[in-house]
Amino acid sequence: MLSELRIQNFAIIESLELTLKAGLTTFTGETGAGKSIILDAITALLGGKAEPTFIRSGAERASIEGVFLIPHNNREPILNLLKNEDLLEDEETILISREIRQNGRSTARVNGHSVSVGLLRELGSYLVDIHGQSEHLSLLNVRQHLNLLDRFAGVQEVLAEYQAVYRQLKHTQKELEHLRQSERDAARRTDLLEYQAREIEEARLQPEEEETLRQERNRLANAENLSSLAQEALGLLDEGLPDSPALTDLLGQLITALEGLARIDPAQQRLAEQALTANEMLAEIARELRRYADSIEFNPRRLEQVEERLDLIHRLKRKYGGSIEAVLAFARTAREELETIAHATERIAELEEKENLLRNQLAGVAGRLSQMRQSAAGQLAGAVETELADLNMAGARFSVDLRTRPDPHGLNLNGGGEALAFDENGVDQVEFLIAPNPGEGLKPLVKIASGGETSRLMLALKRVLTQADSIPT
């Protein structure tokens, strides 16, 4: 239970410290005194909304801190949760805090350790049940009636078991439907996939070849110009121009002059060495140019082959993906799908057997779940009528209507009986019925209850659920 609560700079509350004891605690006060704000703070503390608008005017941040005594009924799941998250400090109490900042960020801590808001909500679900204004309107949503009955019946473990099997069944049925559809389309699909995979595989694409081919095409298409430029450069190096000697001859003259200079002034020897290095570099450039000039290929046939190869790559990319890697991936996927189609019949038989086993298993759990609900329905009705008598509705009658719906594709709960429709919550459909006044017949709550009657009915249900629940606050 909540034993201590400290609030700082939250809404209109500057500072508040509360020490709470077991039993009923009631806050009274005029409108605007801050009663609802205390509940808002507890909601935020346990993972609810924590917006900057909650921060008191003029303050930089708001903080809420609560000390909870670990309840006996929920002790095991709470301790397990704390141990799994390495948050257990004391097996008797839990310290939870939440801080809200002006920048919109908030921090949550359990026993001094930072935690996610999701974990805070999970932990809070074991500690506090908050019922706010107008929440009784949820009674007008018939889908909530099943949740309320389940809460009273304590079917959480059986329902979790049912839902786990239900998810397996749905997954199996989805795969089955996909395979059956694939089998129906197999002939047409197989021909298409085989053609696509073979077209890509016969091309023998290489991941980096497109760029290499582009460079080769550029050289082949410009072979004459490249050869001319290479010969021009070699001429400048070795032969020179009509009115000027070759660069190598000029550099030779430079070297002779600098060596003479160095003999007279040894301090300039470095210049002569640099000139010799430059001469070696020019010689290497000339060698590379000759090799390059010899490699230049005037080959129109090869240029045509490169163009055709690039065109093939472009067509495959346009059909199967924006890159060679994407085209190759498409081929792999096509082969995998062909493999799946080839083994579809065998896999379908396996999945059909699995589906039957799961349906039988689900029917068994659904039967147990339905029996627990039926047993609890009468108890819930009697308990609610007792509470309504204390709320000035002594003649009111309350009933839980449990129904099932036949469905030839549903679950067969008792072997030879009628198959029943089912969903993620089982085979049962639940609706609360009420006769507010003596002599009236039971009718759906959503159609006949007034606002005041609905509020009192929710109070009665909360009272009854509190007795059934393990949540302490």
Q: Do 151 and 333 touch, CB atoms closer than 8 A?
A: no
Question: H or E stretch including 70?
Answer: none
Q: Hey, how many other C-beta atoms are within 10 angstroms of the C-beta on 290?
A: 15
Taking every pair of Cα atoms in the chain, the longest distance, rounded to a whole number of angstroms, is: 135
Rounded-to-integer distance, Cα 190 and Cα 427, Å: 41
93 pairs with which residues across the strands? Answer: 69
SS (H, E, C) 85-147: CCCCCCCCEEEEEEEEECCCCEEEEECCEEECHHHHHHHHCCCCCCCCCCHHHHHHCCHHHHH
For residue 200, give the nearest of 42, 94, 326, 363 by alpha carbon.
326
Q: Which long-range contacts (CB under 8 A, 24 or more apart) does 353-361 make?
A: 354/172, 355/169, 355/172, 355/173, 355/176, 358/165, 358/168, 358/169, 358/172, 359/169, 359/411, 361/165
The verdict on pTM exceeding 0.85 is no
Residue type for position 328? L
- Over the Cα atoms of the chain, what is R_g? 42
Distance spanning both ends of the chain, measured CA to CA? 5
Instruction: Give the residues of the chain that fall short of pLDDT 70.
Output: 133-138, 187, 240-242, 415-416, 448-449, 469
Q: Do 372 and 151 touch, CB atoms closer than 8 A?
A: no
Q: Give the Å distances, CA to CA, from 411 to 72, 204, 262, 406, 419.
A: 39, 53, 106, 9, 5
CA angle 471, 472, 473 (to 5 degrees): 105
Rounded-to-integer distance, Cα 79 and Cα 82, Å: 5
Rounded-to-integer distance, Cα 97 and Cα 115, Å: 10
470 Cβ partners below 8 Å, 6+ apart? 71, 73, 74, 126
Rounded-to-integer distance, Cα 199 and Cα 319, Å: 11
For residue 65, give the nearest of 98, 19, 107 by alpha carbon.
98
Helices (H), 185-268: 186-203, 209-221, 223-238, 247-264
Rounded-to-integer distance, Cα 219 and Cα 147, Å: 76
The position carrying tokens 């559809």 is 181
- pLDDT value of residue 56: 92
- pLDDT value of residue 134: 64
For residue 414, give the nearest of 355, 356, 368 by alpha carbon.
368
